[in-house]
Structure 1
Amino acid sequence: MALLTQADVQRMSDNGTRGPVVVARGEVLTPGARDWLREHRVEVVYPQGESGGEDGSSAPARYQTLFGATLNEKPEHMTHLKGNVLVCKDHPRIAFRGWIDRLEAEILLTQQTTYRAGLKKLTAELEEVLAFVRRYIRFDVLDEPVGPIRLCGYTPEQLREYSHYPEKHLGQPHFLPSHTDSPALLAVNRLRTLVRQAELAAYAAFRDGDGNVTRGDMILGLNRLSSLMWIFMIKLKAGAYEHTQ
């Protein structure tokens, strides 16, 4: 029997931002782990047929696939879509989660660049962006709505307006990035392209057979996030961010 401590479940759920926590056969949650999971409202998944009892006793693990099959063991080429439902690792929703993971990594690298450049305000804004992106796994796995969007003080309408008419609102016209631009601007530009790729992956993941979108809120959030990246670039080009040491 293996004990899952609070530190274990925090790591498994990325501190409550990615969840759910899957408790496999033969694993038991410690009281501290259970308290932390309840406090942070992280879903705990036991494969079908497992009791999840305090004593760790359980029936053989049972999984389901989208094709109606039931499995006693999880194949290496499959992963959890939701609960005990398994899909192949190239499923569009799993691919989308991979893009979110990549997007998080790129945000961190961009923050490193802006921090070293003394752009503390932009670094803090990117931290807000990171928190927003990290919630996307929960939006998907737990079917949570994105809810009202407000990023770095902008409403969805303002994000669209400011990114479409930057000279009117920010005093800087549209421009094409150049190798002569600052490392911070080029890092944000690269981040912008990954946001756009994540948006395309979201469309592939959340559309039905007729092409209708099933999670328009998630796609809208990424679309407006792309607009925010362009606003960051406009402000960098205009010298609107103060450099501090």
Structure 2
Amino acid sequence: MSVITEALLREHDKKNPHQPLKINKSDKLTPSAKEYLREQKRYQCHEESTPKKEVKQVRVQENEYRPFEVVDTGFQPKFVSYYDGGYYQEKPEWMTHLSGNQLVYKDDSRIVFRGKLDSIQSQILVTMHQLKDTKYLWLLENLDEMLQVMREILKAEVMETPYEIKNLFGLEDKELRAHSHHPQKYYGIKHFVPNVEMGQEMVLINQLRSSLRELELVGINAFRNGSKIEREDLLRVLNRMSSAAYILMCRMRGENRGQTND
């Protein structure tokens, strides 16, 4: 598969004004390339199906059609702009990879999302380090599970593959939601607002919970296009992750309920 950009089309038309360029079915046209083809009257793409193969054709003159031909311009861009199809032979310092050789600005919403995912992973590791000598050693295993989920989210976003939580803390997706909504039923405590008297462990997990809420908002900003939501699977997982952090808080609170006035 090749990425066909407006720049490549213009370069070809400049060097070969009367020779059509072949565009394979697997090739990807950038938005600006599609617009360029629409603007150029001599480019009107059609498909003809035969029992053996499909052939795309191009209008080179009024009422004259012939199949696309393979044309080697001798130019292969190293990097392509995701926004306008422009190409670079050297990656600008202010841009980074989105996927393949496509570049975006470093403040692109999806790159910001990936950066926040990285920050959350760092925060989980710091939290695990701070809790390794406390009485809540069971938290380390649960936090490690959350860390693995964060890594899987990042992988699924970059690779553009679907992802869902199969099991976390021994709970399935629907159970995670139920446990976070009904702590009285599952942990014998009411919903509560943490305070400093509840200890370092509670404060650290609550900090992680609020960071996960922020990550969810960053995710919505990255995957909302008007009223259309993309990557609903990842947004659902992010919602469950903040619930998971609250579940850990409820489990700690539940262990200490005999020592409190709940």
* Partner residue, 2:187: 170
Match of 1:227 among 243, 249, 252: 243
Q: 2:113 aligns with which of 96, 101, 106?
A: 96
Matched AA of 1:141? V
Q: State whether residues 77 and 89 of structure 1, in contact with CA within 8 Å, keep that contact through their aligned partners in structure 2.
A: yes
TM-score using structure 2 length: 0.66
Structure 1 moving runs of 4+ over 6 Å: none
**Structure 1 partner of 2:209:** 192
Count of residue pairs the alignment pairs up:
182
d(CA) in 1 for partners of 2:217 and 2:167? 21
Q: Are residues 1:61 and 2:86 paired?
A: no
Partners in 2 of 1:105 and 1:89 — Cα distance?
Answer: 20
Residue pairs, 1:75-90, within 5 angstroms:
75-90=92-107
Question: Partner residue of 1:116?
Answer: 133
State the TM-score, normalizing by the size of structure 1: 0.71
In 1, the alpha carbon distance for the partners of 2:160 and 2:79 equals: 23
1:141-152 residue pairs with structure 2 within 5 A?
Answer: 141-152=158-169
Unpaired runs of 5+ in structure 2?
Answer: 1-75, 257-262
> Counterpart of 1:135 in 2: which secondary structure?
helix
Contact 2:79 2:102 in 1 (8 A): no
Aligned match of 1:51: none
Alignment deviations for residues 104-158 of structure 1 (CA, whole Å, 9 cap, x no partner): 0110111112212132211011111101101122111101111353211111111
Matches within 5 A, 1:206-217: 206-208=223-225, 210-217=226-233
Give per-residue Cα distances to partners, 1:76-108, cap 9 Å, x unaligned.
110001111100011000000011011001101
Give me the whole-angstrom Cα distance separating, in 2, the residues matched to 1:148 and 1:194: 19
Task: After superposition, give the CA deviation of every residue in 1:185-217 in whole Å (9 maximum; x if it has no partner).
Answer: 110000001111111111111122x22111000
Distance 2:190 2:77 in 1: 63
DSSP-derived class of the 1:116 partner: coil
Offset of 1:238 from its aligned partner?
1.8
- 1:38 — aligned with what? none
CA distance in 2, matches of 1:122, 1:225: 15
The structure whose residues are more often strand, as a share, is: 2
| Structure 1: stretches of 5+ with no match in the other structure | 1-58, 241-245
Q: Do the aligned residues in 2 keep the contact of 1:66 with 1:85 (CA within 8 Å)?
A: no
CA contact (8 A) 1:128 1:151 kept: yes
> Which moved further from structure 2: 89-98 or 63-72?
63-72
In 2, the alpha carbon distance for the partners of 1:226 and 1:82 equals 28
Aligned residue for 1:106?
123
